[in-house]
């Protein structure tokens, strides 16, 4: 114990060695070396405090469905009323941000696309735009339009999962089957455009991997026609449904001041009446050239968030149609050969690798060009020293990529401002004071993706 001058007592910041540290790490020797076991006394202390009390502590989870990942809730209840709600995260932690420090700037795309796996194209875009800001380059117009096109298609797919899993949790199984049926249309289209259903790594620093395939415009417009015909079915099935309204109206209430205090963005913030959408507030990728509305509501409850997501899908369809009209011929990657990779890529007939013509062209060029291509692929390009933060509007709110460069071919630091992590902090404010059954509806209206939360 550290003592101060006589009469001044002890230093409160220094722990008493006689008191065991509940978070101290014990160790043991194994054949692989020293293994440390870190334990916490929080759960045991909580149970001991409630012993003999009428309060009940229950463990909800770890669970998956409406949280799009594994989330654990520790609920303290009095009867059926939740008096305390605490969230336990970290079950999906994969160290994506740290892994990016050991890969080139281009390879980092394949990591960040796996964060929010329901909206991978948004994370790719934010990461690449932040990289491009450090490089001081601007991607070609056609590449910008393709990015907007892909993100809006992806936004529809993400919102459909929110509606489907939320409906499943609340017992609306037809809402679930319909939601995933429509999402299959989204995934089929994305697979046709990018080659993959999820984790595309299609958006790269400097543009996109390759141009859209032949017949893309026709397939995209057919998709819009299908969705225009099916989206009203959600209103017919759910919006006027008395049970759906009873489960959602007034549930998960979070007013505007609460949203602003907690940093909540996206549909949750707009359901409280504030039309905050970065596509309008701080346009990027030419969003100011597209005509669309930012739907809002004043109810600030789960039902309002449901209605907003349905309306946002209609607005995304408007943007997609405008993107098809704005697609003008042109390059989809910057011309700078020191950055562009893959540059002038030609896919083989099997769709699995480079075409023979492309290989002959690479091998037939000068030895210097071949060496440069090899070094670009293996070592990557250098990014000037500095840091940049670029925010965009993802389906869940503000998604930002903060990148730091020391002038090398790898990021010095990668940090993502994922909206799921920030919005999830509003769960206690939305759940405490309500019923246990309402916790599910409130969480579903948050639409958190735990892969982005944990990263």
- Residue 83 has a pLDDT of 86
Q: Which two tokens stand for residue 129?
A: 């735009």
Confidence at residue 342, expressed as pLDDT on a 0 to 100 scale: 64
Four-residue CA torsion sign, 55, 251, 452, 226: positive
pTM given for the model: 0.82
> 183 is written with which tokens?
């999402």
The CATH T-level fold of domain 96-341+380-454 is Cytochrome-c3 Hydrogenase; chain B (1.10.645)
What SS3 string covers the chain?
CCECCCCCCECCCCCCCCCCCCCCEEEEEECCEEEEEECCCHHHHHHHHHCCCCCEEEEEEEECHHHCCCEEEEEEEECCEEEEEEEECCCCCCCHHHHHCCCCCCCHHHHHCCCCCCCHHHHHHHHHHHHHHHHCCCCCHHHHHHHHHHHHHHHHHHHHHHHHHHHHHCCCHHHHHHHHHHHHHHHHHHHHHHCCCCCCCCEECCEECCCCCCCHHHHHHHHHHHHHHHCHHHHHHHHCCHHHHHHHCCCCCCCHHHHHHHCCCCHHHHCCCCCCCHHHHCCCCCHHHCCCCCCCCCCCCHHHHHHHHHHHHHHHHHHHHHHHHHCCCCCCECCCCCCCCCCCCCECCCCCCECHHHHHHHHHCCHHHHHHHHHHHHCCCCCCCEEEEEEEEECCEEEEEEEEECCCCCCCEEEEECHHHHHHCCHHHHHCCCEHHHHHHHHHHHCCCHHHHHC
Domain ranges of the chain: 96-341+380-454
State the pLDDT at residue 5.
Answer: 41
What per-residue confidence (pLDDT) applies to 389? 93
Tokens of 320: 């997609």
Give the distance between the most distant pair of CA atoms in the chain: 87
Residue 160: per-residue pLDDT = 93
pLDDT of residue 242: 87
Full pLDDT tens readout for the chain, 455 residues: 444 444 444 444 444 555 555 555 677 787 767 766 655 555 556 555 555 556 788 888 777 667 777 888 888 888 888 888 888 888 888 889 899 889 988 888 999 998 888 999 999 999 999 999 999 888 999 999 999 999 999 999 999 999 998 888 888 888 888 888 999 999 999 999 888 888 888 899 988 888 888 888 999 999 999 998 888 888 888 888 888 888 888 888 888 988 898 889 989 999 998 889 899 998 998 899 999 999 998 988 899 999 999 999 999 999 999 999 988 888 888 888 778 776 566 666 666 666 777 777 777 766 776 777 777 778 888 889 999 999 999 999 999 999 999 988 899 999 999 999 999 988 888 888 888 888 888 888 888 888 888 88
């Amino acid at each position: 114990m550290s003592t101060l001058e006589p009469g001044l007592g002890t230093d409160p910041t220094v722990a008493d060695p006689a008191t065991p540290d509940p978070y101290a790490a014990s160790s043991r020797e194994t054949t692989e070396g020293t293994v440390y076991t870190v334990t916490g006394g929080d759960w045991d202390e909580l149970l001991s405090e409630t012993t003999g009390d009428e309060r009940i502590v229950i463990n909800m989870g770890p669970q998956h469905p409406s949280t799009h990942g594994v989330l654990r809730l520790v609920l303290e209840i009095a009867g059926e009323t939740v008096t305390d709600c605490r969230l336990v995260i970290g079950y999906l932690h994969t160290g994506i941000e740290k892994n990016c420090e050991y890969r080139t700037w281009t390879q980092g795309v394949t990591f960040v696309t796996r964060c929010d796996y329901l909206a991978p194209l948004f994370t790719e875009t934010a990461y690449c735009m932040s990289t491009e800001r450090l490089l001081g380059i601007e991607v070609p117009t056609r590449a910008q339009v393709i990015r907007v096109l892909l993100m809006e298609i992806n936004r529809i797919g993400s919102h459909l999962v929110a509606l489907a899993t939320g409906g499943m949790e609340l017992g609306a199984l037809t809402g679930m089957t319909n939601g995933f049926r429509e999402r299959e249309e989204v995934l089929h289209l994305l697979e046709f455009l990018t080659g993959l259903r999820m984790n595309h790594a299609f958006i790269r620093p400097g543009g996109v991997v390759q141009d859209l395939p032949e017949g893309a415009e026709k397939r995209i417009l057919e998709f819009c026609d299908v969705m225009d015909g099916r989206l009203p079915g959600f209103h017919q099935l759910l919006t006027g449904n008395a049970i759906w309204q009873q489960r959602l109206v007034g549930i998960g209430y979070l007013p505007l001041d609460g949203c602003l205090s907690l940093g909540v963005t996206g549909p949750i913030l707009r359901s409280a009446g504030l039309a905050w959408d970065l596509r309008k507030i701080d346009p990027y990728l030419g969003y100011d050239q597209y005509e669309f509305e930012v739907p809002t509501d004043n109810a600030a409850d789960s039902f309002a968030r449901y209605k907003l997501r349905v309306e946002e899908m209609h607005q995304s369809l408007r943007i997609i149609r405008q993107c098809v009209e704005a697609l003008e011929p042109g390059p989809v990657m910057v011309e700078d050969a020191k950055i562009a990779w893959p540059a002038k890529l030609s896919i083989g007939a099997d769709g699995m690798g480079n075409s023979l013509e492309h290989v002959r062209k690479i091998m037939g060029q000068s030895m210097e060009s071949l060496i440069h291509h090899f070094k670009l692929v293996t070592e990557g390009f250098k990014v000037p020293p500095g840091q940049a933060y670029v925010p965009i509007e993802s389906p869940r709110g503000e998604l930002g990529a903060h990148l730091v460069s020391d002038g090398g071919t790898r990021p010095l630091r990668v940090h993502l401002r994922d909206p799921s992590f920030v919005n999830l902090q509003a769960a206690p404010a939305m759940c405490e004071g309500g019923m246990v059954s309402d916790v599910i509806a409130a969480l579903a209206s948050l639409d958190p993706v735990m892969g982005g939360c944990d990263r």
